[in-house]
A and B are shown apart, each in its own frame.
Chain A
Amino acid sequence: MKSATAKAGAGKPRLTTSAMIASIAGEGQRTKAAPFGHALVELAKQDSSVLGMTADLGKYTDLHIFGQAFPDRYYQMGMAEQLLFGAASGLAAEGFMPFATTYAVFASRRAYDFIHQTIAEEDRNVKIVCALPGLTSGYGPSHQATEDLALFRAMPNMVVIDPCDAHEIGQAVPAMARHRGPAYMRLLRGQVPLVLDEYGYSFELGKAKLLRDGYEVLFISSGIMTMRALEAAKILESDRIDVAVLHVPTIKPLDTATILDCCAKPGRLVIVAENHTVNGGLGEAVAGLLMREGVHPAFRMVGLPDEFLAAGALPTLHDRYGISTDALCTRVKGWLN
Chain B
Amino acid sequence: MSTAPIGHNVSLERRAWNIRRHAILMGEVQGQGYIAQALDIADVLATAYFHAMRYRPDDPEWDGRDRFLLSNGHYAIALYAALIEAGIIPEDELETYGSDESRLPMSGMASFTPGMEMSGGSLGLGLSIAVGKCLGLKRKGSDSRVYTLFSDGELDEGSVWEAIMSAAHYKLDNLIAIVDINNQQADGASTAVMGFEPLTEKLDAFGWFVQRVDGNDLAAVRAAFDAAKAGYGQGKPSIIIADTLMGKGVPFLETREKNHFIRVEAHEWQLALAALDERKPS
A-side residues, CB < 8 A to B, are 75, 77-78, 80, 82-83, 85-96, 98, 113-114, 117-118, 121-123
Contact = CB atoms under 8 A, between A and B. Distances in A.
Interface in B118-151: 118-119, 121-122, 124-125, 127-137, 139-140
Nearest to A48: B139
Interface stretch (B43-51, B158-166, B251-259): B158-166
B158 A117 contact: no
A57 B74 CA distance: 35
B130 A90 contact: yes
B129 A86 contact: yes
The listed residue with most B CB atoms (<10 A of its CB), out of A83, A113, A122, is A83
Nearest to B165: A78
Interface size class of B (residues with CB under 8 A): 20 to 34
B131 A93 contact: no
A122 B119 CA distance: 7
Interface of B: 109-111, 117-119, 121-122, 124-125, 127-137, 139-140, 158-159, 162-163, 165-166, 169
A109 B162 CA distance: 17
Contacts of B111: 121-123
A86 B162 CA distance: 11
B122 A86 contact: no
A93 B133 contact: yes
B159 A83 contact: yes
A89 B129 contact: yes
B159 A90 contact: no
A90 B128 contact: yes
A121 B129 contact: no
Contacts of A80: 159, 162, 165-166
Nearest to B117: A93
A83 B162 CA distance: 6
A322 B169 CA distance: 46
Contact of B131 (A83, A96, A114, A121): A83
Contact of B128 (A86, A93, A96, A121): A86
A90 B135 contact: yes
Contacts of A83: 128, 131, 159, 162-163, 166
B135 A75 contact: yes
Contact of B119 (A88, A92, A117): A117
A123 B109 CA distance: 12
25 contacts: A75-B135, A77-B166, A80-B162, A80-B165, A82-B159, A82-B162, A86-B127, A87-B163, A89-B132, A90-B128, A90-B133, A91-B139, A92-B132, A93-B132, A94-B132, A94-B136, A95-B136, A98-B132, A117-B121, A118-B119, A118-B128, A121-B110, A122-B111, A122-B118, A122-B119
A90 B162 contact: no
Contacts of A92: 132
Contacts of A86: 125, 127-129, 131-132, 159, 163
A292 B109 CA distance: 34
Contact of A78 (B110, B118, B162): B162
Contacts of A93: 117, 129, 132-133, 136
A90 B136 contact: yes
The listed residue with most B CB atoms (<10 A of its CB), out of A82, A90, A122, is A90
A292 to B, nearest CB: 29
A269 to B, nearest CB: 45
Contacts of A85: 128
A298 to B, nearest CB: 44
A80 B124 CA distance: 13
Nearest to A85: B128
Contacts of A88: 132
Contacts of A90: 128-136
A118 B118 contact: yes
A208 B119 CA distance: 34
Nearest to B158: A82
A80 to B, nearest CB: 4
Nearest to A73: B139
Nearest to A76: B169
B149 to A, nearest CB: 15
B125 A114 contact: yes
B8 to A, nearest CB: 30
B27 to A, nearest CB: 25
Nearest to A94: B136
A242 B136 CA distance: 54
B125 A117 contact: yes
B43 to A, nearest CB: 27
A93 to B, nearest CB: 6
A57 to B, nearest CB: 15
Given A95-B136, A118-B119, 18 more contacts: A83-B159, A83-B163, A87-B128, A87-B131, A89-B129, A91-B135, A91-B139, A92-B132, A93-B117, A94-B137, A94-B139, A98-B132, A114-B125, A114-B128, A114-B159, A117-B125, A118-B125, A121-B110
